[in-house]
């Protein structure tokens, strides 16, 4: 038995157009857009629908672009939400914020506690521009007191766009999952050519060393990344060198100065040898 195709103009099949959509059968029996707009029953439900979310997402981009368009030179700095004043990582963050501010470079952080606070604090101390891009979380922490220009986001992806679009490079302090997410997103954007000339400097060789070792010994040796991908990141141990490297990278000076991730090919060899000796 063959099944005949229904005729396009079969009037027994409910059908109608809704903007660009062609709707048939059950799809066509839902109300029109105007009916939904004017209907007061269940008012408030609409804010949980995807079209409404699209508007909110759009407004986050509009707000972000509007607030940051005239920021000038800026560096985004990531790092743990859990470090405390007095710890090495926190104090490193303060110093990096201060040094960038003194170079006339704005800092952009996640606006939260820990190393984010440290960097914002340093920027204020250095009389610079201190930006925080907050994120709505179930455990709300609010902006740290050293954020001078704060924008709160509902959506991670809109916020991430701002970190990249308005910064000329990234500095990454030790951190957890949030920091790793931000680091790897940046690396993928550079690897895939979505952003160019974008230096990424990791601070803390003891902290980052094992990750770099894994990238080399597992990802590279199993052919999951190319040797050039390892050049996407640099590692250093001082605030001065981190700021020097990220600003040199912004100015396109990276290649003259750098032979490998550890500043020079020799330094990198030495680090690898030390690691092989069972550090």
Ligand X SMILES: C/C(=C\CNc1ncnc2c1ncn2[C@@H]1O[C@H](COP(=O)(O)O)[C@@H](O)[C@H]1O)CO
Q: Interface with ligand X by CB under 6 A: which residues?
A: 78-82, 110-113, 116, 134-135, 137, 141, 175-179, 182
Q: Which is nearer to ligand X, 93 or 209 (CB)?
A: 93
Phi-psi map region of 149: left, alpha, beta (phi>0 left; psi -120 to 50 alpha): beta
Residue 63: exposed, middle, or buried by beta-carbon count in 10 A (0-12, 13-18, 19+)? middle
CB of 23 to ligand X, least distance (A): 42
Q: Which is nearer to ligand X, 105 or 268 (CB)?
A: 105
Distance CA 268, CA 274 (A): 10
Distance CA 267, CA 257 (A): 12
Distance CA 80, CA 179 (A): 7
CB of 273 to ligand X, least distance (A): 30
Distance CA 170, CA 267 (A): 22
CB of 108 to ligand X, least distance (A): 10
Q: Which is nearer to ligand X, 13 or 188 (CB)?
A: 188
Compute φ and ψ for 225, nearest 5 degrees: -135, 165
Q: Which is nearer to ligand X, 111 or 199 (CB)?
A: 111
Alpha-carbon distances, residue 120 vs 157, 186, 234 (angstroms): 22, 21, 23
CB of 232 to ligand X, least distance (A): 18
CB of 225 to ligand X, least distance (A): 23
Look at the block and give the residue holding tokens 């000339």. Answer: 197
> In the bound complex, which residue of the shown chain has the CB atom lying closest to ligand X?
178
CB of 173 to ligand X, least distance (A): 8
Q: Which is nearer to ligand X, 179 or 234 (CB)?
A: 179
Q: Which is nearer to ligand X, 173 or 262 (CB)?
A: 173
Sign of CA dihedral 105, 192, 160, 79: negative
């Amino acid at each position: 038995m063959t099944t005949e195709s229904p005729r396009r103009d079969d009037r027994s099949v409910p059908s109608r157009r809704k903007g660009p959509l062609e709707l048939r059968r059950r799809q066509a029996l839902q109300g029109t857009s105007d009916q939904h707009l004017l209907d007061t029953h269940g008012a408030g439900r609409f804010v949980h629908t995807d079209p409404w979310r699209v508007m909110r997402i759009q407004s986050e981009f509009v707000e972000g672009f509007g607030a940051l368009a005239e920021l000038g030179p800026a560096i985004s700095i990531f790092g743990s939400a859990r470090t405390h004043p007095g710890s090495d990582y926190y104090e490193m963050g303060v110093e990096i914020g201060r040094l960038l501010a003194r170079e006339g470079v704005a800092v952009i952080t996640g606006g939260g506690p820990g190393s984010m606070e440290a960097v914002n604090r340093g920027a204020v101390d250095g009389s610079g521009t201190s930006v925080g891009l907050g994120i709505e979380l179930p455990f709300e922490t609010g902006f740290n007191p050293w954020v001078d220009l704060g924008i709160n986001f509902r959506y991670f992806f809109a916020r991430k766009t701002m970190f990249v679009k308005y910064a000329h490079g990234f500095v990454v302090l030790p951190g957890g999952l949030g920091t790793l997410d931000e680091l790897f997103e940046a690396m993928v954007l550079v690897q895939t050519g979505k952003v160019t000339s974008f230096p990424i400097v990791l601070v803390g060789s003891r902290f980052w060393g094992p990750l770099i070792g894994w990238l080399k010994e597992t990802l590279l040796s199993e052919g999951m990344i190319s040797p050039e991908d390892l050049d996407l990141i640099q590692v250093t141990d001082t605030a001065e060198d981190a700021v020097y490297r990220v600003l040199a990278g912004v100015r396109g000076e990276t290649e003259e100065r750098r032979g490998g991730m550890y500043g020079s090919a020799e330094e990198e060899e030495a680090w690898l040898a030390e690691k092989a000796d069972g550090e």
